Structure 1
Amino acid sequence: MPLDPILFMGGSGAIGQHTARALRAVHPDVPLLIGGRDLARAQQAAEQIGGALGVAIDPKADDLGLGDRQISAVVVFYMDHALAGLRYAQTQGVPHLSISSGIFEIAPEIATYMHRPDAAPIVLGYEWMVGATTVSTLHIAKAFARVHDITVNALVDEQDSGGPTVAADFEHLSKMLPAALTRRDGAYIWREGDDARVSFRAVDGTRMEANGFSSIDVVGLAAATGAPNVQFNLASGVSSTRRQGRPKSTEIIIELAGEDLQGQPLRTRHAVVHPAGAALLTGLSVAMLLERLLGLDGQPPTPPGLYFPYQLLDACAFLKRLEQEGGQLSALQV
């Protein structure tokens, strides 16, 4: 049966276009609606993507201005403070995935879900790179019987802006929440000031100055592993590949400590690297989530519920696709 179009709200930006390419690479016939307030820009992006249609979005209208048009899913690539996309997805009974809200802004979405829990699957896609970090971390954690400490250090190349929408979202997050949600000794705390300033070694060993960041990865990884100590830190600078004279990349350094399956102390250090930057890695994650939500991967579509990305993404399949794109999850020296 032909699939109804997937609605990309704000899909004319870099991440939306990379998502479309990643999805089309495996499913070339999936129809797309590129929605935005600026119809001309949406149409231009749709033409560049190919096989897509640009449409005007009216967030104040119950039907988003789409009338009786049928869709199969809604993806929101910007901060939808009015939850227009979520309400529309619930009305249509189709999956909803939003990637831009902060950890402090999920209450409205959770409340909306709680009042209609059987309407549609809703994905809180606010993990770093929309699941690339948590999926990789939980894959590594399989070597542990017990995880005590999880430290995630993300390095974004200073040339990897991601476009104006991403920049505006980060500015909003920085203003609203300067402290960093962290789990320490089993309790959730807020790191700020000197307590939030850290340093870590990039893939090439260069010491990077970083600050704590309130990523929802912290609560997801703590819940999934039971680790009493979980923190996320973010640095901006020159990525390891660019220091080597190559194009920019995005790096995620994952450090775990605990006990192995035999009860012996174990420490690991890995890196997730995508050679083309943050937008392409994010687009890959969003594309694979859509495949899982809609059953394009050959499995039944995802039933209604509230999900983290790592609960839907298969680690082996994700890492295989990452490698096909030139990225990798690799072990580093502890």
Structure 2
Amino acid sequence: MGGSGAIGHQTVRAIHATYPDLPLLIGGRELTRAQNAAAEYGGAEGVLIDAASADLGLGQRKISAVVVLYKDPSLAALRFAQSRGVPHLSISSGVFEIAPEIASFMNAPDAAALVLGYEWLVGATTVPALHLTKSFGQVDEIRIGALVDEEDIGGPAVAADFEHLNHLMPAALTRRDGVYLWREGSDTRVVFSALDGTQVDATGFSSIDVVGLASSTGAQNVQFDLGMGITSSRRRGGKFSTEIIIDISGLDLKGEALHTRHAVVHPGGAAQLTGMGIALLLARLVGLDGKPPVKAGLYFPYQILDASHYLARLAQEGGQLLALPTNLTSP
């Protein structure tokens, strides 16, 4: 649903690259747009979504999973997925809006897998970060600095999501000294170093990555900051990319102080990296990769995605997980 938009296009591209014969329904609120998007791929069909109908206007079509790429305030897609007993993945809610989905799961916990795909670019931060924490015996602090190129604006649905989140959530959910709090005002403004060392002005962002990383690692300090500007690749004269700086501090496996700094980089930008993550999740949820489908439950993307597989696909698409000097400004 929302498959005719910018992220939808990248999601279908990523799925089709690995599973070219998989039949896909590209759902939209405008039939012509959905059909035009589907025409680019073999085995895809554009369909009109009727959110007021219990079957979304799909009748008795056999559906194996539902992916929602825009804000679905009525939870029509989730109700449909649970009624059919198929996995549901959504990516557009803010961390402050998850109560309706949690309530739906709690009232039907055995219906199917429900994935809270609101992590930054659908696992692009958490999956690499948790992979990197394997070299730590104790994680004390995780700081994330995400840099979005000003030319990497995505589609209208992406812009609408950011406007919605920024309007309703000016404070930034953060863990500090073991306590969750909301950074406000000047406390939200930070500077971090981009991949090439350039200083980036950023603002605290309430990503669900914060609670996922804190709860899975026990880190007492976790924060996420978002900057927009010129990415390092474009500063070098190339095309825009997307950058995520992951700064981790704690103790190594021998109990000695350890500080690492890495960057996740994708040359296709935010939408392409998001589409890649969604495609990998969908394949894992329904067992396209040959493994058993994911059992009913409530999941973060990083609980489903295999880090080695994720990083291999990232490299295949021209992306990288790069080790960086630790003497540059942290987010």
Q: Is the TM value for this pair above 0.5? A: yes
Task: Quote the Cα distance in structure 2 between the aligned partners of 1:101 and 1:222.
Answer: 20
CA deviations over 1:196-241 (Å, ceiling 9, x no partner): 1000000000000000000000000000000000000000000000
CA distance in 2, matches of 1:67, 1:285: 29
1:333 & 1:137 partners in 2: Cα distance?
16
**Match status 1:293 vs 2:290:** no
Question: 1:106-121 to 2 correspondence within 5 Å?
Answer: 106-121=98-113
- Asked if structure 2 preserves the Cα contact closer than 8 Å seen for 1:17 and 1:49, the reply is no
| Match for residue 172 of structure 1 among 164, 181, 192 | 164
Deviation at 1:24, TM superposition (A): 1.3
5 Å-filtered alignment, 1:134-213, equals 134-213=126-205
Of 221, 224, 228 in structure 2, the residue corresponding to residue 236 of structure 1 is: 228
Alpha-carbon offset, residue 49 of structure 1: 2.7
Q: RMSD of the TM alignment (CA)?
A: 0.6
Secondary structure in 1 aligned to 2:39? helix
Q: Is 1:268 equivalent to 2:260 in the alignment?
A: yes
Q: Structure 1 segments of 4 or more deviating over 4 A?
A: none
| Structure-1-length-normalised TM-score | 0.97
Q: Is the 8 A contact 2:142 2:222 kept in 1?
A: yes
CA distance in structure 2 between the aligned counterparts of 1:53 and 1:297, rounded to whole angstroms: 23
Is 2:53 the counterpart of 1:61?
Answer: yes
1:163 maps to amino acid: G
Residue 205 of structure 1 aligns to a residue whose secondary structure is coil
Distance (Å, rounded) in 2 between the aligned partners of 1:298 and 1:56: 31
1:42 maps to 2:43: no
Within the candidate set 294, 311, 318, 1:326 is matched to: 318
**CA distance in structure 2 between the aligned counterparts of 1:204 and 1:14, rounded to whole angstroms:** 28
CA displacement at 1:191 relative to structure 2: 0.3
Structure 1 residues 250-309: Cα deviation after superposition (integer angstroms, max 9, x where no partner): 000000000000000000000000011000000000000001001111210000000000
Q: Who is 1:29 aligned against? A: 21
State how many pairs are aligned: 326
CA distance in 2 between counterparts of 1:46 and 1:24 reads: 11
**Structure 2 Cα separation of the partners of residues 60 and 112 of structure 1:** 18
Please state whether the residue corresponding to 1:160 is helix, strand or coil: coil
Determine the C-alpha separation between the residues in 1 that align with 2:12 and 2:28. Answer: 15
> Partners in 1 of 2:172 and 2:34 — Cα distance?
36
Q: Secondary structure at the match of 1:53?
A: strand
1:21 Cα shift?
Answer: 1.1
Work out whether 1:307 is the aligned partner of 2:299. yes
Q: How do 1:96-111 residues align onto structure 2 when only pairs under 5 Å count?
A: 96-111=88-103
1:222 aligns with 2:201: no
Q: Tell me, what secondary structure is at the counterpart of 1:10? A: coil
Q: Deviations over 1:101-122 (max 9, x none)?
A: 1001100000000000000100
Helix, strand or coil at the partner of 1:131: coil
Indicate yes or no: 2:65 matched with 1:73.
Answer: yes
Offset of residue 322 of structure 1: 0.2
Instruction: Point out where structure 1 has 5 or more consecutive residues left out of the alignment.
Output: 1-8
| TM-score, scaled to structure 2 | 0.98
